């Protein structure tokens, strides 16, 4: 990877509703992201937290500029129960946010 290319920071969120329906998913996503780190140079998890107000679980990740987040989400969906994934609208310069939630 070129040292001059800036890394992009994204947020990957799991809704309280989905986490409550499938409690083991939090650990599974953490493991998946750790494995993704080993597979793709430049990808890394900066921080994991649970937002107490909303119950949302959140991973802040650095990704290389050429990495496709939708590909990461597609692969993740193969390892977890059926879910709905969507990008949450944000105003620039806010980082992109992706939400995993229960299907409607």
pLDDT tier for residue 24 given thresholds of 50, 70 and 90: very high
Instruction: Assess if residue 60 is contained within a domain.
Output: yes
Residue 90: per-residue pLDDT: 84
* Residue 2 lies inside a defined structural domain of this protein: no
| Exposure string for 41-60, b = 16+ CB within 10 A, e = fewer | eebeeeeeeeeeeeebbbbe
Give the helix/strand (H/E) hosting 101. strand 97-101
In a domain, 95, yes or no: yes
Neighbours of 18 (CB within 10 A): 22
For the stretch 45-86, pLDDT in tens is 999 999 999 999 999 999 998 889 999 999 999 999 999 999
Bridge-based pairing state of the strands 97-101 and 8-14: parallel
What is the domain count for the chain? 1
Is 45 a domain residue?
Answer: yes
* Whether this model's pTM surpasses 0.85: yes
Query: Which one, of 37, 66, 33, 64, lies nearest residue 48 by Cα?
Result: 33
Range of the domain at 69: 8-101
- CATH number of the domain residue 84 falls in: 3.30.70
């Amino acid at each position: 990877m070129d040292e001059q290319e800036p890394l992009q920071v994204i947020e990957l969120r799991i809704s309280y509703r989905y986490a409550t329906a499938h409690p083991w998913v939090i650990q599974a996503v953490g493991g998946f992201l750790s494995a993704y780190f080993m597979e793709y140079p430049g990808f890394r998890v900066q921080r994991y937290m649970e937002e107490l107000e909303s119950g949302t679980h959140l991973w802040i990740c650095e990704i290389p500029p050429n990495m496709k987040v939708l590909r990461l989400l597609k692969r993740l969906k193969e390892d977890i129960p059926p879910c709905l994934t969507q990008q949450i609208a944000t105003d620039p310069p806010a980082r992109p946010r992706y939400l995993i939630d229960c299907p409607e």
